[in-house]
Each structure stands twice: as structure tokens, then as C-alpha cells.
Amino acid sequence: MSTLSQERIVTPEEVEEKVVAAVEHALDLDPGQVKPESSLTEDLGAESLDFLDIAFNLEREFNVQLPRLDILQRATDHFGEDTLVKDGVVTERGLDLLRKGMPEIDPARFRPGLKATEVAAMFNVATFVRIILRLLEAKRELPRECPKCGKTMIESEVTPELVCESCDESVPMPTGDEILLRDIISLDTALDR
């Protein structure tokens, strides 16, 4: 797989095609077996190492850093202990955020008693497509002016960062964890209104 150029906006259809290909490759599936609604674990039998393989290939393909799967537990630093997950179970507030933040999943699946460890099993191909599209959007929104010399920075072809060809300054792109945490905070604010 090759890294896509930052100059061209990638369409949702192209992202879906690349995600499907990454899943087919990682799980050694025939073309056509993977659909956007296919659950990676329940329908396709993916295991944790498969998730790592898929994530690695997608990160390389799109030059982004995907978030880790335990975002609710790690959001505790912002929301406070036991706000989203208490004793390993997703709270009502956490369920509301999941329903809003994961529209590709049937909202009825986010039911009381859901364990935080069960959320990753719900991920489907469309989940990866949504996350990649969000990371690409965040990448496009980054300021391109070099903080050191003011020239235009370009995307590195090797790592998720912007580099200045004039002065060699580099600025790392926000990680998927940072972007998704900001999105969860925004969703939570919207739920409070």
C-alpha cells in the first residue's frame, strides 16, 4: 500500500475501498466477503492481532495515527473517575456518547450493562471508515504555516507530521487519541444542551 498524497482530498468511497482491502488482507478473506456493516470480530472473526495489522496498514496508507480502542476508559482524565465507565461497565452518559459518536452501530446495542471491553467487538468496517475520514479532516484543518520561519509546511511521506522544507522544522500531527477525545468532549457538551 502506498501513502496517499495530501494534495488530493480522498473521497469516502476511496477510504471505504482501502479499509475493505486492509481488512480482507489482514483476515485473508476473498474480495466481496467484507461489507461496511461487517463486524470485525462477530462477522469476520478478527482477533486483537488482526486489529493491529489492520490499523498498521491503514496508518501507513493514510499517514495518520489511529486511536487505541479503549477511548472511554482513557477519557477518564477529562471527565473524571466513573463518569463514562464504572467498574468496567459503561455508564448511561458513556452509552449516550457512544450512540452519538458511533452512528454506524445500531444504537440499541449500547444498552445498560455494556462492558467497556465489549465496545471494540462492535467495531465494523464502517467504524474504521468513519475514523479515517475524521482523521483526514483533522489533518486538512492543520495550519500549514511553519512556526519557525513562516513558510508553508508539507506533509511528511513517512510519519504523521508536517515538515518545513526551508528550515527543517517539523510539527507532529495530533494523534487519533487526541482527535477522538476532542470529539467526545464536543459530543458531551452537545448532549448537555
In this predicted model, what pLDDT tens digit does every residue of 157-175 receive, in sequence order? 888 999 999 999 999 999 9
Checking if the pLDDT of 70 tops 80, the result is: no
Residue with cell 471494540: 120
Checking if the pLDDT of 5 tops 80, the result is: no
* pLDDT value at residue 147: 94
In angstroms, rounded to a whole number, what is the distance separating the alpha carbons of residues 92 and 109? 13
Average confidence score pLDDT of the chain: 90
Tell me which of 52-56, 75-79, 129-133, 185-189 is least confident: 75-79
142 closest CA partner among 166, 161, 168: 161
Using 50, 70 and 90 to split pLDDT, how confident is the model at 85?
very high
Using 50, 70 and 90 to split pLDDT, how confident is the model at 188?
confident
Residue with cell 488482526: 50
pLDDT tens for each residue of 18-50:
999 999 999 999 999 999 999 999 999 999 899
What percent of the chain lies above the pLDDT cut of 70?
95
Question: Using H for helix, E for strand and C for coil, what is the string for 122-172?
Answer: HCEHHHHHHHHHHHHHHHHHCCCECCCCCCECEECCCCCEEECCCCCCEEE
What percent of the chain lies above the pLDDT cut of 90?
72
C-alpha of 90 from chain center: 20
Checking if the pLDDT of 10 tops 50, the result is: yes
Checking if the pLDDT of 17 tops 60, the result is: yes
* pLDDT value at residue 7: 53
